[in-house]
Chain A
């Protein structure tokens, strides 16, 4: 096995294990930490695929900013352990098979979609510069729109979380 494959299986395994932990752990703060592990493992997988900029953004924005926000809110609300509730019978007997079926279907579809045309032009280096050119030239209007989205999100969060006088 090449180094690439070893790293893929190690960090892919870590990502899947942490995602399972996110579901199985009962305390929200443990789930949040598991999600941070998933994001860090995914950042390594991005690096393996030669997407350095996306990997850095993943660590800085996702694991750094968004998850800190989550952890802040969990601590602010003093969230306790999730109590075990009895799932309805439909959820128990239909939910798991449907979820497994969905995963299998997605995996099957993307597997065939990707094996249809073999990879070419893979392994290019120096991705960040063309990415910046594309982002600020071809996608400049969507890029400006995202700033409006962020602005509206800030205003919305402020209005929603404000204490009523």
Chain B
């Protein structure tokens, strides 16, 4: 398979992640959409890595996964805090900064 197919698939998955991020109202699902976007970027990195015959891309994927793990830990702690303080997981209830 040529790398362009993988890259197109990566773009589609990233676009779906953006759609989820914009349209979902549950804060946990929004967070999962971000993870989906990170996964799409990983797929693109692996495809480029294979196409160029270099391994740096796969090293970057490794770092992205590490950062995603750290982000998930902190993000879910924040979600826990929001749910405890507001008794709701709906992002429309979190509007202190809204004019």
Q: Using a CB–CB distance below 8 Å, which chain B residues touch chain A?
A: 1-20, 22-26, 28-29, 31-33, 35-36, 39, 42-44, 46-53, 55-56, 58-59, 61-63, 65-74, 76-81, 83, 89-90, 92
Using a Cβ cutoff of 8 Å, how many contacts connect chains A and B?
A: 228
With a cutoff of 8 Å between Cβ atoms, the chain B residues found around residue A160 in the complex are 74, 77-78, 80-81
B7→A114 contact, CB < 8 A: yes
In the bound assembly, the distance between CA atoms of A119 and B2 in angstroms comes to 8
Asked if B73 and A157 make an inter-chain contact with CB atoms under 8 angstroms apart, the answer reads yes
Q: Is the pair B12, A28 in contact by a Cβ cutoff of 8 Å? A: no
In whole angstroms, what is the CA distance A11 to B49 when docked? Answer: 20
- Whether A106 and B15, one on each chain, are in contact in the complex, defined by CB atoms closer than 8 angstroms, is yes
Q: Which of B13, B63, B74 contacts A146 (CB 8 A)?
A: B63
CA distance A134 to B90 in the complex (A): 44
CB–CB A127/B58 < 8 A: yes
B13 cross-chain contacts in A, Cβ below 8 A: 15-16, 19, 38
The answer to whether A49 touches B50, judged by C-beta atoms less than 8 angstroms apart, is: yes
- Report whether over half of chain A's contact residues are helix, strand or loop; otherwise say mixed: helix
Give CA–CA (A85, B22) in the complex, Å: 13
Choose one: A19, A49, A161; the contact of B47 (CB below 8 Å): A49
- State how many angstroms separate the Cβ of B7 from the closest Cβ of chain A: 4
Chain A residues with Cβ under 8 A from B15's Cβ? 99-100, 102-103, 106
Cα-based distance from A46 to B74 in the complex (angstroms)? 27
- A95-124 interface code vs B (CB 8 A; 1 in, 0 out): 110011011001100110111010111101
B19 touches A99 (CB 8 A): yes
Query: 4 tightest CB-CB pairs across the interface, nearest first?
Result: A121-B53, A103-B15, A153-B70, A110-B7
A to B CB contacts below 8 Å, 6 in the list:
A8-B5, A23-B16, A49-B46, A66-B68, A107-B12, A122-B50
CA distance A120 to B51 in the complex (A): 6
The answer to whether A99 and B18 have CB atoms under 8 Å apart is: yes
Which of B4, B19, B83 lies at the interface centre, i.e. has the most chain A CB atoms within 10 A of its CB?
B19
Cα distance A127–B56 in the bound complex, in angstroms: 11
Complex interface: chain B residues within 8 A of A19 (CB): 12-13, 16-17, 20, 36
Cα distance, A39 to B7, chains bound together (Å): 16
A156 to chain B, nearest CB (A): 5
What are the residues of chain B within 8 A of A102 when measuring CB–CB? Answer: 15, 18
Residue of A nearest to B19 (CB): A99
Cα separation A114 to B5 with both chains bound (whole Å): 9
Say yes or no for A135: interface residue by CB 8 A criterion: yes
